[in-house]
Amino acid sequence: MGVGSGFGKVILFNEHFVVYGIPSIASAIDSRTEAIVERVKDPRLLVPSGNEGSMAGDGWVLEDNRPANPGYKKEKYQQQKESVLLVFKAAGFDPTENNIRITLGGDLKAVGGIGASAAVCVSLARALNDEFRLGFDDARINQIAYEGEKAYAGTPSGIDNTASTYGGLLRFEKNLSGGENRIELLKVKRPIRIVMGNTGITADTKAAVAGVRERKEKEPAKYDRIFREAMALVGKADAALRRYDLRALGRLMNQNHTLLQEIEVSHPKLDELVELARRNGAYGAKLTGGGLGGYMVALTPQKRLQEKVARAMEAKGYEAFRTMIGV
C-alpha cells in the first residue's frame, strides 16, 4: 500500500497578476488530501462502489471519501477522471500492467478555490511514488501534479500545485518563457490564523482569467498602471512577512484587494465579506483565487479575533473556514 498527501492552499497576493509573470505569494493551509494506492490482483475487483465521485478506468478504480460541498464531486467528475489519467501519464505509470485501487480522503474539503484539485494530483503522485518506488523528488511530484491540474484549469500558472507540494508559505514567479518557475520558500516564525469566507458562488476561474486578458488588451494604459502597482506591492508583502509585521501585511492585503477590484474579478459578495471582516477587526482582507465568487481570506492572527470574524460571517449566512497559513 502506498500513501501520499497534498495540502490545500490560499493565495495571499497577486492571483491573476501571477499569470503575467508578476510574483505572487501563496501558502499551504492546515488541511490536506490523502491518497492511498493499493495493488489489486484480480481485475474483477476493479468495480466502483457507486458512491458519489467513485470511478474506474482501464486497470484502476477510485473511491472519493473526501468531505465535499454538495454537488462538487458530480460537477468535477469528468475533469477528475481526465486528471487521474494525466497524472498516470506524467508519472510514466501504466495501470493496465499494475491494477490499482485509489482511495481519496483527508480533512481538506473538496470545494472550489482552496486548491482541492491540486491536492488530489499531488497526493496521488506521491502515493504512486510510494507504492511503486518511482524515486520522484518534490520537484518531479510538482511537475506531475501540474500536468494533472491541466484537466481542471487549462493552463494554470502552477501556483496551486506548487503550494500543495511544498507546503508552507512561498513566493512564486511564473517563468513566461516556459522554463522552470521561480519558487522561494518564505519562513515565518509561527503559523498565522486566517478565516476563509465562502461566497457560496461557484465561479469559473478560466472565464475570470480570460476576462482579465480581454480588458487588459482593450485598456493597456490602465492595466499597465495596475500591474506596476501589483509588482511593487508584492515586494513590500514579502518584506512584511520576513519581519513578521502582520499589521503591515494586512494593509497590503487590503491594497491587493483594491487592485483585484480594479481588474474586475471581485464580486459584491466578496466585497461584502471583505468589509465585514475588516469591520470586525481583521488585519486585512481580500478575495483569493480566481474571484467572481469563491473565497475571500481575512488575516486574523489571534484565536479570539479569528473566531469573531468567522462568527460575523456565519451570522450573515456564509460559511467560514478557520485555518492557518505558514504551517
Please pick, from the candidates 34, 147, 160, 238, the single residue that binds ligand PMV as defined by CB under 6 A: 160
Please pick, from the candidates 205, 255, 300, 323, the single residue that binds ligand PMV as defined by CB under 6 A: 205
- Strand ranges for 162-245 from DSSP E: 169-173, 182-186, 192-198
Q: Scanning residues 16 to 55, which ones bind ligand PMV (CB under 6 A)?
A: 16, 18-19
User: Is the sign of the CA dihedral 282, 230, 148, 161 positive or negative?
Assistant: negative
Q: Is 293 in the site for ligand PMV (CB under 6 A)?
A: no
* Cα–Cα distance for residue pair 8/119, rounded to 1 Å: 6
Q: Scanning residues 93 to 152, which ones bind ligand PMV (CB under 6 A)?
A: 113
Min dist CB 289 to ligand PMV, Å, is 3
Q: 220-243 and 246-262 are packed helices; what angle lies between their axes, rounded to 10 degrees? A: 160
The C-alpha cell that represents 145 in the structure block: 501534479
Residues 59 and 67: beta-carbon distance below 8 Å: no
**Binding residues for ligand PMV, total number by CB under 6 A:** 13
φ/ψ of residue 117, rounded to 5: -70, -40
Residues 257 and 76: beta-carbon distance below 8 Å: no
Instruction: Give the binding range for ligand PMV (CB under 6 A) out of 10-18, 54-62, 71-79, 232-240.
Output: 10-18
Instruction: Give the binding range for ligand PMV (CB under 6 A) out of 12-20, 36-44, 92-100, 240-248.
Output: 12-20
The nearer residue to ligand PMV, 15 or 238, going by C-beta atoms, is 15
Min dist CB 154 to ligand PMV, Å, is 8
Taking alpha carbons only, the member of 140, 245, 242 closest to residue 185 is 242
For residue 6, the surrounding DSSP H or E stretch is strand 2-13
Q: Is 15 in the site for ligand PMV (CB under 6 A)?
A: yes
160 assigned to active site:
yes
Q: Is 170 in the site for ligand PMV (CB under 6 A)?
A: no
Taking alpha carbons only, the member of 146, 149, 144, 159 closest to residue 80 is 149
Instruction: Give the binding range for ligand PMV (CB under 6 A) out of 11-19, 80-88, 129-137, 246-254.
Output: 11-19
Catalytic positions: 160
Residues of this chain that interact with ligand PMV (CB under 6 A) are 15-16, 18-19, 113, 156-157, 159-160, 205, 209, 289-290
